[in-house]
C-alpha cells in the first residue's frame, strides 16, 4: 500500500477512522482530506492517494459516506464527502475499540519499561 516507507500505513482501519473523524468535523473533498489530516497531525501522518480514493469508494459503497456535487476552495466542481448516520455509528464503535486497543498497548508498554 505504502510506496514510501517513511509513511507506513499504521494498521488496518487506521485510515478509515481518520477519514471518518475528519469528515465528521466537516464535509470535504479528497484533496482537502489529505491536507486536513496532514495539518492536524503536524505532518506526522500523510495519507497515500493510492489508498485514499479506493477507501473512499469502499466507504461510499458500505453506506458510511455519501457524496454530493460541490465546489472546491478554488471554485471548481468536485465531489464533497459527508458522513451518514451509519457512518457516525460506525465511527463511534471504532473509536471505542481503538481506545481499548490503545490502553491495552499502553499498559503492555508500561510493563515492558518497568
Which residues of this chain interact with other proteins, rule CB under 8 A? 3, 29-31, 34, 48-50, 53-54, 56-58, 60-61, 67, 72-74, 76-79
Q: Which is nearer to other proteins, 54 or 104 (CB)?
A: 54
Write down the least CB distance from residue 32 to other proteins, Å.
8
Least distance in angstroms from the C-beta of 3 to other proteins: 7
The answer to whether residues 15 and 49 touch, using CB atoms and an 8 Å cutoff, is no
Q: How far is the CB of 31 from other proteins (least distance, A)?
A: 4
Q: Which is nearer to other proteins, 12 or 77 (CB)?
A: 77
Q: Which is nearer to other proteins, 25 or 53 (CB)?
A: 53
CA distances from 87 to 4, 48, 82, 97, 102 (A): 29, 22, 9, 15, 22
Minimum Å gap between C-beta 51 and other proteins is 9
Q: Report the greatest alpha carbon distance in the chain.
A: 56
Closer to other proteins by Cβ: residue 40 or 98 = 40
The C-alpha atoms of residue 107 and residue 41 are separated, in whole angstroms, by 24
CA distance linking residue 97 with residue 92, whole number of Å: 9
Q: Please name which of 19, 109, 23 lies closest in space to residue 10, comparing C-alpha atoms.
A: 19
Amino acid at each position: 500500500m505504502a510506496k514510501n516507507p517513511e509513511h507506513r500505513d499504521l494498521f488496518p482501519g487506521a485510515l478509515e477512522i481518520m477519514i471518518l473523524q475528519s469528515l465528521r468535523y466537516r464535509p470535504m473533498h479528497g484533496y482537502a482530506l489529505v491536507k486536513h489530516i496532514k495539518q492536524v497531525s503536524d505532518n506526522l501522518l500523510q495519507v497515500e492517494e493510492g489508498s485514499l480514493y479506493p477507501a473512499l469508494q469502499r466507504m461510499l459503497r458500505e453506506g458510511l459516506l455519501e457524496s454530493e456535487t460541490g465546489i472546491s476552495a478554488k471554485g471548481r466542481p468536485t465531489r464533497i464527502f459527508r458522513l451518514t448516520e451509519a457512518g457516525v455509528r460506525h465511527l463511534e464503535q471504532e473509536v471505542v475499540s481503538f481506545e481499548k486497543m490503545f490502553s491495552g498497548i499502553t499498559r503492555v508498554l508500561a510493563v515492558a519499561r518497568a
